Amino acid sequence: SNGKNVCVLMLLCVPLTMMDIPGPCKHAITMDHLLQLKQLISNQLRTGCSITYTFIERKHLSVVCDVKATLPRVLELFNVHFKYVRGSGSAQAVVSIQNLILNIYSQHCIPALNEELEDTVVFERQYNESPVQALQRVEEVLSLYLHLITTTNTPVNWTCEDEYSSNLPPTVTQLTTSTGESISTDWASLWSASVEDFLSYSLPTAS
Ligand X SMILES: *[C@@H]1O[C@H](CO)[C@@H](O)[C@H](O)[C@H]1NC(C)=O
Residues that bind ligand X (CB under 6 A): 157, 159, 162
Min CB(26)–ligand X separation in Å: 18
Residue closer to ligand X by CB (options 157, 207) is: 157
Please give the Cα distance from 187 to 190 (Å, whole number): 5
Min CB(157)–ligand X separation in Å: 4
What separation, in Å, do the N-terminal and C-terminal C-alpha atoms of the chain show? 57
Residue closer to ligand X by CB (options 88, 165) is: 165
Short-list 166, 150, 207, 195, CA closest to 59: 166
CB proximity list for 19: less than 8 A, separation 6 or greater: 26, 153
Min CB(24)–ligand X separation in Å: 19
Min CB(67)–ligand X separation in Å: 15
Residue closer to ligand X by CB (options 122, 203) is: 122
Please give the Cα distance from 182 to 174 (Å, whole number): 10
Residue closer to ligand X by CB (options 110, 142) is: 110
